[in-house]
Structure 1
Amino acid sequence: MPYSPQHKEQSRQKILQAAAKLFCAHGFDRVTLNQIMKKANLTHGAFYGHFSGKSALYEAALKFATDQGFWARSEKQTEAKPSHLKALVARYLSWSEPNPKLPSPLEFLVTDAAHQDEKVRQTYQECFDSLVDRLAAILDKRGVKQARSLSEETVVSLVGTVSIARSITQPLRADFVERAKQRILSRIQQGLTQDTANP
């Protein structure tokens, strides 16, 4: 008896959730399809009913992770209070902890950004561009003229901070992340102030 469309979609969502968590935590090379299917609580044979291979799953999983991320959920708040940008930065930097609830899709910068598989590199680029675009939209609504440039600078700083922080032991990690957070927020504030002062 064939599965219903609802059952198939539920299985696909389970695979995406498991893959997003594992890929975001460990990168493309260190995750196997067996690990993903085990985490999804599904048989290995069920995988090919949804995806053609690991690269196709990686692409879908990173887009899923980005769409489920804090910035994506916050699109309706882009004209919100000044504390909103601080909350976004703090939330991203919380991914520096060893077992974050929702890992950063860009944390594995070194391993996956330079991956030999063209599809993997392209997916990473799309994920990066998506985060930059979303932050740029927030900054643009706050009146920042160079919103795209400041957004790109901010995302690069956030990704770099999280990537490095994950290799630093506690309690040094907390101090490192806090200093980085203050620098990033100061740079954002500087951009907001400059554009307000020079309309």
Structure 2
Amino acid sequence: MPYPKGHMEKVRGHIIQSAAKAFRTNGIRDISVPAIMKGAGLTHGGFYSHFDNKDHLVMETCQYAINDTISLLQKAVDQEGQDAKIHSVIHFYLSSYHRDQMEIGCILPSLSGEMIRMSEEVRSAFTQEVQRMIDFFCQLADINHSKGSALLSLLVGTIILARSVHDPELSDRLLASGKQQAFALLES
């Protein structure tokens, strides 16, 4: 009996969602295809019906995860009407909630350190997604590419360090300092 129309796309979406959560939490190298498929409620045997290889999955997952992050940041903007839009993004991105919810947060802090060891194809796809985030910031804040790049670098670096340290007070101070410097960057 054939699958209903749209079944393959739906399954593919479940795999990408599972991969996004897994990559955000564990990185690329420390998560296996069988674990991703299990997270999607599937056996690993069906993986190659949807993707050529793990790199192919990584590229599509990066695109999905950045779409997801931009949507999440846009919701933060929509909920905070009185602040400048980019201020709402900075407050959300450098919040304890975003720091502590790696599985739903921005994928850039989770994967940036691994990208140097990935294939050129994966790095190229990741580069496109970094550019999309910079463009999102530039458009939202009406800033040039240089400031947008610096802002993204500051936010990603801050969240990486805030997640890395064992001292909760230091982590909170890193987030607060990152916010202060992000706002100062916008004013310069």
TM-score computed with the length of structure 2 as normaliser: 0.87
RMSD: 2.2
Residue pairs, 1:50-199, within 5 angstroms? 50-70=50-70, 74=74, 82-94=83-95, 95-97=98-100, 99-100=101-102, 102-140=104-142, 144=143, 147-169=144-166, 170-188=168-186, 190-191=187-188
Aligned 8 A contact 1:18 1:36 in 2: yes
Name whichever structure is richer in helix by fraction: 2
**Which stretch of structure 1 is more off in the superposition, 102-111 or 40-49?**
102-111
> Percent of counterpart pairs with the same letter?
27
Alignment deviations for residues 4-57 of structure 1 (CA, whole Å, 9 cap, x no partner): 232212111111111011112222211110110111111112211111110000
Equivalent residue, structure 2, for 1:195:
none
C-alpha distance 109-3 of structure 1, shift in aligned 2 (>3 A) = closer
Distance of aligned partners of 1:109 and 1:13 in 2 relative to their CA distance in 1, 3 Å threshold: closer
TM-score (norm 1): 0.82
Count matched residues: 182
The answer for unaligned runs of 5 or more in structure 2 is: none
Could you tell me which runs of 5 or more consecutive residues in structure 1 were left unpaired when the two chains were aligned.
192-199
Instruction: Tell me the secondary structure at the aligned position of residue 176 of structure 2.
Output: helix
Structure 1 contact 19–36 (Cα < 8 Å) conserved: yes
Amino acid at match of 1:10: K
